[in-house]
Chain A
């Protein structure tokens, strides 16, 4: 089946620094990638959608200058949390969808990245 990886799995950083999280589709080409955030005991919330070669579309309330998303190839998307603060500590999960749009709708999720900002 389709496999999506994320790196790193865990990261601890100091307040004010930036952190980059990678999301890779290992055995398929991901036309679209999604970034979600999950706070403790809460559900996943969509942060942004990115299509390869295009600018990401951010959900309402998500600061695009703080959460930089790059989808430069069909197998890699990156999320950079800039000037991280303790309230950015969360579980970040990416997902990837192949080509075909609604005819091939399934999203495949990565294992997640636990970010802790001290």
Chain B
């Protein structure tokens, strides 16, 4: 059974810092990995999707990497802003007949003004 772990569970940094969020998964047989943002009481906003054949994806100040063989992904946020404050979720789409996403518990990020 696929399990997804995110470290750290919470992070508070001053505005302007670059930061890295970590995600690991136990079964490397994945189709893709997605990073989402969730604001309190809200749904999910997709940030980046990395296919299993890719090593990284970039969107603006966000860069996500994937090392499928070691079961790891990182989300790099450059020049953080208070508006980046949210919970960031990592999710994998696994093989083996499981068609939905398996989520980690998220990293609760606070960017201090």
Contacts and interface: CB of A to CB of B under 8 A. Distances in A.
Interface of A: 6, 32, 34, 36, 41-46, 49, 57, 59, 91, 93, 95, 102, 105-112, 114
B63 interface: no
Interface size class of B (residues with CB under 8 A): 20 to 34
A117 to B, nearest CB: 18
Contacts of B103: 36, 43-45
Interface in B21-51: 31-32, 34, 36, 41-46, 49, 51
A49 B99 contact: yes
Given A42-B105, A43-B104, A46-B100, A114 B46 contact: no
Contacts, number: 59
> Counting chain B CB atoms within 10 Å of each CB, which of A32, A49, A105 scores highest?
A105
A46 B91 CA distance: 11
